[in-house]
Structures are given as structure tokens and as C-alpha cells.
């Protein structure tokens, strides 16, 4: 048995009936639907052909996210998440570059790296080199002035932890941002790159080895082994090309407001809603959330 979860502001019963008709039209044998939160999220059960179900539903309803998955095991015991543009609303290196007056130069490289057009490690080294001699104090200013949590981040992570899941923030960004962000949201562990600093200024380098796509994938696989979990018990969420490997390894791989290369490859896309969509994906209504 499979479930299609529909998430949208102003979701109507008529849309759910239409969704059932669409599934019937591609031989998915739909069953009953029920609200998780009325007008916001609902589950629709069906018997077969999940790929056809996803194709039939995605894009059929305005501003609606569709999550198609097996009914069994939808409650996840491991979350591995990207930080920049996923758990927070900005790319930290771009915002930090603004304090050096070179945001446009660095943001262009960041965008290309996230689209998968550049080698991530090489692109990171090149961008960090441009920040050489920036005052260390700019990091704390950037954190205070620019870094905002993504809506739903605390609810997602703290609810999953309250239900016994392990949560790991693994970022190609920097520990000076990831550690306070991870603590504020409530992650169990934080992994990120370390900016090298001397005499209260950035040296233009990061400590090696760089946290990259392979690190993210390895983090997920090692956590599964450590916890004795099957891949199906895990969720990975990110937006850029360096998140693809971990997204493909996870039981539920989620492209969150993602670059096209990631959206095309992920099992689930969240294009419209916030991170609480990933609680609805696990069958959790608002009354079940640790933070509303």
C-alpha cells in the first residue's frame, strides 16, 4: 500500500476527490482519503504504481506539494539535512561576502556550484580565497544580521527528536554558522567546514578535508550503520547539487525549493510549502508537533 500526501494552503476536498480520480485513471487503485490538518494536508491511500501516481499528481494542483511513498515506514528515525537555503533562508558565504563588498562575485559562483556546474570543493576554495583579510568580527555580524531560520525548521527537527529520531546537520558551509544554527534548531550533531583565522582575520582558507557531497553521503550511511537502521528509515533534505548523493541514499530523499538538477533526481520535491511539509509526509498532524 502507498500514500500520496497533498500539502497546500487552502487545500479543498474537491481537489482530493480529483486526485483520487487521477490515480484511478492510471490504475493505482485509490482508496479513501483523510485529512491530516483540514485545509492544509491530507493523505490518499492507493494500491500500486507509485511512479505513475506521482506523475499524475505533480503539477496537477496549484501551489500543492505532493509526497508519494510506501505506507509502511513513513515515520523516519534519521534526518540528515543541509543548512544553507534549507534549514536557513540564505547562503552564508554569499552574505559574508557582502561585508567584504564582493557579494555579486561570490554569489554567481555559489549558484553555479549549487546547480552542479562546478566542482564543489574547488569552488569553495576559490570563494573563500576571495574573503582573505576580512575581519573575523564580520562572521558574528553576519550571523546576527542575515541568518534566519527557515520556517518549519524547529518544528521538523524537534518533533522528530521528540519521537526518537537522530538529527544531523551536515553543511558545506562553515562551523561558525552551522554550530549556533544547529543548536538553535535542536540538531543532535553538526558537521561543517572550518574557516581558518589568524590575527582576527580570515586567512582565505578552510581546514581540509572539505565537507562536500561525499561527506554528506558518508554521514548518512555511517549514521544508518551506527543506529542499526535500514535506509528506508532515513530522510535527507537539501537544495543543491552537493546534496544529491545523500538524497539518493535516503529512504525519503527530499529536494527542498531546490535547483533543477536536484528537483529532477529526488524522490520528493517540496516547491511551495515550508519544512513542516516533511512532518505531514510522516503522517504527523499539527497537534503532534513539538513546536507549532
Report yes or no on 81 lying in a domain.
no
Strand-by-strand arrangement of the 268-270 sheet: 189-193, 166-174, 78-81, 234-238, 252-256, 268-270
- pLDDT, tens only, 108-123: 988 998 888 988 888 9
- pLDDT, tens only, 46-85: 999 999 999 999 989 999 999 999 999 999 999 999 999 9
Q: Of residues 43, 65, 82, 94, which has the active-site annotation?
A: 82
Report yes or no on 220 lying in a domain.
no
Instruction: Count structural domains, the chain.
Output: 1
Structural domain span for residue 56: 1-72
Neighbouring residues of 36: CB distance < 8 A, sequence distance ≥ 6: 5, 42, 43, 280, 283, 284, 285
**289 half-sphere exposure, CB direction, 13 A CA radius:** 19
Q: Answer yes or no: are the C-beta atoms of 237 and 281 closer than 8 Å.
A: no
Confidence band for 292, pLDDT divided at 50, 70 and 90: low
Q: Of residues 21, 27, 65, 84, which has the active-site annotation?
A: 84
Report yes or no on 208 lying in a domain.
no
Distances (CA, A) of 96 to 15, 107, 109, 116, 176: 44, 10, 14, 22, 11
Q: Answer yes or no: are the C-beta atoms of 136 and 197 closer than 8 Å.
A: yes
- pLDDT, tens only, 207-257: 999 999 999 999 999 999 999 999 999 999 999 999 999 999 999 999 999
82 labelled catalytic: yes
Q: What CATH number is attached to the domain comprising 49? A: 3.30.70.260
Amino acid at each position: 500500500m502507498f500514500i500520496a500526501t497533498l500539502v497546500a494552503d487552502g487545500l479543498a476536498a474537491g481537489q482530493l476527490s480529483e486526485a483520487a480520480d487521477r490515480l484511478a485513471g492510471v490504475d493505482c487503485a485509490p482508496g479513501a482519503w483523510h485529512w491530516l490538518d483540514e485545509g492544509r494536508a491530507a493523505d490518499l491511500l492507493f494500491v500500486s504504481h507509485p511512479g505513475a501516481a506521482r506523475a499524475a499528481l505533480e503539477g496537477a494542483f496549484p501551489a500543492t506539494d505532493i509526497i508519494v511513498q510506501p505506507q509502511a515506514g513513513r515515520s523516519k528515525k534519521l534526518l540528515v539535512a543541509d543548512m544553507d537555503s534549507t534549514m536557513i533562508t540564505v547562503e552564508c558565504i554569499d552574505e559574508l561576502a557582502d561585508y567584504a563588498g564582493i557579494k555579486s562575485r561570490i554569489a554567481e559562483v555559489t549558484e553555479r556550484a549549487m546547480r552542479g556546474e562546478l566542482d564543489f570543493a574547488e569552488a569553495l576554495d576559490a570563494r573563500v580565497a576571495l574573503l582573505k583579510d576580512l575581519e573575523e568580527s564580520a562572521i558574528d555580524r553576519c550571523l546576527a544580521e542575515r541568518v534566519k531560520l527557515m520556517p518549519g525548521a524547529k518544528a521538523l527537527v524537534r518533533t522528530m527528536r521528540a519521537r526518537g529520531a537522530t538529527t544531523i546537520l551536515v553543511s558545506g558551509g562553515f562551523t561558525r554558522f552551522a554550530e549556533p544554527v544547529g543548536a538553535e534548531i535542536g540538531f543532535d550533531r553538526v558537521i561543517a567546514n572550518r574557516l581558518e583565522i589568524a590575527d582576527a582575520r580570515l586567512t582565505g582558507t578552510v581546514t581540509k578535508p572539505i565537507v562536500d557531497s561525499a561527506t554528506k553521503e558518508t554521514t548518512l550511511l555511517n549514521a544508518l550503520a551506527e543506529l542499526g537502521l535500514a535506509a528506508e528509515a532515513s530522510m535527507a533534505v537539501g537544495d543543491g547539487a552537493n546534496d544529491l548523493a545523500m538524497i539518493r541514499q535516503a529512504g525519503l530523499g527530499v529536494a527542498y525549493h531546490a535547483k533543477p538538477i536536484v528537483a529532477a533526481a529526488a524522490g520528493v520535491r517540496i516547491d511551495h510549502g515550508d519544512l513542516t511539509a516533511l512532518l505531514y509526509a510522516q503522517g504527523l498532524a499539527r497537534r503532534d508537533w513539538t513546536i507549532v
